[in-house]
Amino acid sequence: MNGSAIAATGLRKAYKDKTVLDGIDLDVRTGGMRRKLDLAMTLVGEPQIIFLDEPTTGLDPRSRRTMWEIIRELVARGTTIFLTTQYLEEADELADRIAVLDQGRLVAEGTADQLKRQVPGSHVRLRFTSRDALDVAAEVLQIGVALLMGFRPSASLPEWLGAIGIVVLTVLAMGWLTVAFGLAAKTPESAGLAAVPLMLLPFLSSAFVPADKMGAGARQFAEYQPFISIIEALRGLLTGAPSTGSTVTAVAWCVGLTLVGYLWARRSFTKRA
């Protein structure tokens, strides 16, 4: 009997709850499946203390969340877990007490709240249930800053509704593209970096400088990227001088990017399942 079969057999005898083994193919294993099997082999014999060395390193976001849930379930059953990790948010989510090491020396220890209070300065933390909610909040913040700086829209009610519709379509398109990037990435780090080019696109558009005032290379790029149409459509709607061409182009870009992101994300999800 191979190691995978031994782990599966032993775990089924030891635990009534088999969530650790859900979705595992014992012959063809992804990185996430291998991690779950490693944990399953550790659980044979129902140990009271478990040492986990960076259990989520290299996992995609979905497998990482699954591993977090498994660890939480083990702690709820009374198992003591010593976990090493490079991710601060992971320690914040899972650990009752945290020890911070720097070059082999213990430099801080305590609960997550105790360690946070040692950081000088004050701040306000906002938590959102989804990336779409975060994007909407960012748009609202930008509009609020614009109003504080003196921008006064002269749009009618239909123009306001049109501007809101374009914002919603833009958030939807960027959301699906971000999901697709995340599913296609091989590590959490690359998943986070994959969306950076999307964040830079508004700065390479007419949001701050008219496209005809840009240099040769930047002007050609700005004129044919999606955000220039979106920004021009919003500017026209909010100032009461809508441009049909810019609005239609912005909607077409949003619909097209949403479709590309959805199909790409679905294909990547199917390959990983």
- For residue 28, what pLDDT band results from cuts at 50, 70 and 90? very low
In one-letter notation, the amino acid at residue 137 is A
CB 98 within 8 A of CB 110: yes
Q: Which of 16-20, 37-41, 261-265 has the highest mean pLDDT?
A: 261-265
Exposed/middle/buried for residue 158 (C-beta within 10 Å: 0-12, 13-18, 19+): exposed
- For residue 162, what pLDDT band results from cuts at 50, 70 and 90? very high
- The full DSSP string for 217-272 is HHHHHHHTSHHHHHHHHHHHHHTT---HHHHHHHHHHHHHHHHHHHHHHHHHHHHH
User: Is the whole model's pTM more than 0.85, yes or no?
Assistant: no
Residue whose tokens read 């996430």:
32
**What's the CA gap between 61 and 43, in Å, rounded?**
23
In the chain, the domains with their CATH numbers are 3-94 (3.40.50.300), 131-272 (no CATH)
**What's the CA gap between 208 and 231, in Å, rounded?**
10
